[in-house]
């Protein structure tokens, strides 16, 4: 049914193959966000609800061009679902993981899905002193299965005398590769290196190059619940300056959508975070992180996440951390696009 609906109602503008009709035949000036449904980089990262919202309520529903009409009075929900499945099927390369595995980003646990995003994330100690770190991360998907990452941290370290020191921390560079994906599961591996660009004497860096490797997975449970996990280790080039360490993280969340599943999304999550230095006498630290993510604009490519990392054990010298981030999925448009 999806193919017939596309031929009858969509092919006139989007072309019989989904790659776009010629300019001379569409009768209007194509907007800059005019899609090519055969391009897997465009169709695969989006979830079914985003496609359904645009078909149901028109381009305005996600802050796209009003040229795209609403079909809510012409198509049933079953027909819209069938049409979405057909359009998404125009991507023929199975190496591209489905958009439903592009799960909401937790505060601590790394995602397995490759992204094209800017993320500004901050962590502030609620105890004294109120040291903080703000990290600006650039992520770019470079192929179906690969993503590069650059992280630039800015730290504020307070001195016992009451003063503070601010500056750049240790720059991080990473490469993510998707090892496996299905309709409900994704598994990735990532390698990173943090170079000692920060001033270690001022508490703004480790003073040593640190290599990190980890595996990450995402698992859908039904249509709205998910689990994400990460496990790996840190390996400094000089263990006199920083110890080797291992860590494990897991996040459980549930996606709540307004307006019958087509509107703003709220995602409560809970993370369990554990780490341990690999040296004599070290203890395993365990934390809980209750948090919430919310989409801020119509296109849902600008999101806010916030929560508190709370020590469960070994609380002496470990205070709570207030954490938040602002995420911009730049592949879906400019930062100021899609708000109205």
165-168 long-range Cβ contacts below 8 angstroms, 24+ apart: 165/199, 165/202, 165/203, 165/204, 166/204, 167/198, 167/199, 167/202, 167/204, 168/197, 168/198, 168/204
pLDDT in tens, 233-272: 999 999 989 999 999 999 999 999 998 878 899 999 999 9
Confidence at 182, pLDDT banded by 50, 70, 90 = very high
Distance of alpha carbon 173 from the chain centroid: 17
Give the pLDDT score at 67.
85
Q: Write down the pLDDT at residue 26.
A: 65
What are the structure tokens assigned to 338, written together?
């899609």
Residue 120 has pLDDT above 90, yes or no: yes
Decide if pLDDT at 162 tops 70.
no
For 58-82, write each residue's pLDDT tens digit: 888 888 888 888 899 888 999 999 9
Q: How big is the CA angle at 338 (ends 12 and 142), to the nearest 5 degrees?
A: 80
- The whole-angstrom distance between residue 122's C-alpha and the CA centroid of its chain comes to 16
Mean pLDDT of the region 33-40: 83
The answer, yes or no, to whether residue 27 has pLDDT greater than 70, is no
* pLDDT recorded at residue 45: 86
pLDDT at 49: 85
3-state secondary structure 288-339: EEEEEEEECCCCCCEEEEEEEEEECCCCCCCCCEEEEEEEECHHHCCCCCCC
| Three-state SS at 224 | coil
The reported pLDDT for the residue numbered 1 is 85
Report the interhelical angle of 77-88 vs 2-9 (nearest 10°): 90
Task: Tell me what the pLDDT averaged over the chain comes to.
Answer: 91
Predicted TM-score of the model (pTM): 0.91
- Answer for the pair 281, 309: CB distance below 8 angstroms, yes or no: no
Of 96-100, 165-169, 243-247, the range with the lowest mean pLDDT is: 165-169
Q: What is the pLDDT of residue 156?
A: 84
Neighbour count for residue 41 (Cβ, 10 Å): 15
In the chain, the percentage of residues whose pLDDT exceeds 90 is 60
The C-alpha atoms of residue 35 and residue 33 are separated, in whole angstroms, by: 6
Is the Cβ–Cβ distance between 84 and 48 less than 8 Å?
A: yes
List, in order of start, the domains of the chain with CATH numbers.
2-88 (1.10.760.10), 99-332 (2.40.160.40)
CA distances from 318 to 241, 243, 280, 312 (A): 20, 18, 20, 10
Q: Is the pLDDT of residue 209 over 90?
A: yes
Residue 291 structure tokens: 């948090």
Q: How confident is the model at residue 279 (pLDDT cuts 50, 70, 90)?
A: very high
Distance CA 237, CA 169 (A): 17
């Amino acid at each position: 049914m999806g193919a017939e609906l596309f031929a009858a109602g969509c092919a006139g503008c989007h072309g019989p193959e989904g790659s776009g009709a010629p300019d001379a035949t569409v009768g209007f000036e194509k907007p800059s966000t005019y899609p090519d449904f055969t391009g897997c980089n465009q169709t695969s990262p989006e979830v079914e609800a985003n496609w359904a919202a645009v078909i149901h309520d028109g381009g305005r529903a996600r802050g796209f061009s009003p040229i795209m009409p609403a079909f809510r009075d012409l198509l049933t929900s079953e027909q819209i679902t069938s049409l979405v499945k057909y359009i998404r099927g125009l991507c023929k390369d199975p190496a591209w993981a489905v958009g439903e595995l592009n799960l909401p980003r937790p505060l601590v646990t790394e995602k397995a899905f490759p992204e094209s995003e800017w993320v500004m994330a901050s962590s502030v100690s609620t105890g004294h002193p109120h040291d903080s770190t703000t990290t600006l991360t650039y992520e770019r998907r470079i192929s179906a299965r690969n993503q590069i990452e650059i992280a630039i941290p800015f730290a504020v370290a307070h001195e016992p005398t009451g003063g503070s020191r601010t500056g750049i921390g240790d720059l991080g560079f990473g490469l993510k590769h998707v090892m496996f994906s299905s309709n409900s599961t994704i598994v990735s591996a990532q390698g990173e290196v943090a170079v000692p660009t920060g001033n270690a004497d001022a508490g703004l860096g480790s003073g040593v190059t640190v290599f990190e490797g980890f595996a990450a997975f995402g698992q859908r449970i039904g249509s709205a619940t998910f689990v994400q996990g990460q496990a790996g280790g840190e390996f400094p080039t000089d263990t006199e300056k920083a110890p080797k360490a291992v860590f494990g993280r897991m996040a459980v969340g549930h996606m709540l959508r307004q307006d019958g599943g087509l509107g703003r999304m709220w995602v409560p999550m809970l993370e369990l975070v554990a780490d341990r230095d690999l040296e004599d006498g070290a203890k395993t630290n365990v934390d809980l992180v209750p948090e919430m993510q919310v989409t801020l604009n119509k296109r849902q490519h600008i999101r806010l996440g916030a929560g508190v990392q709370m020590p469960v054990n070994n609380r002496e010298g470990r205070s709570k951390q207030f954490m938040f981030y602002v995420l911009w999925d730049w592949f879906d448009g400019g930062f100021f696009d899609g708000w109205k």
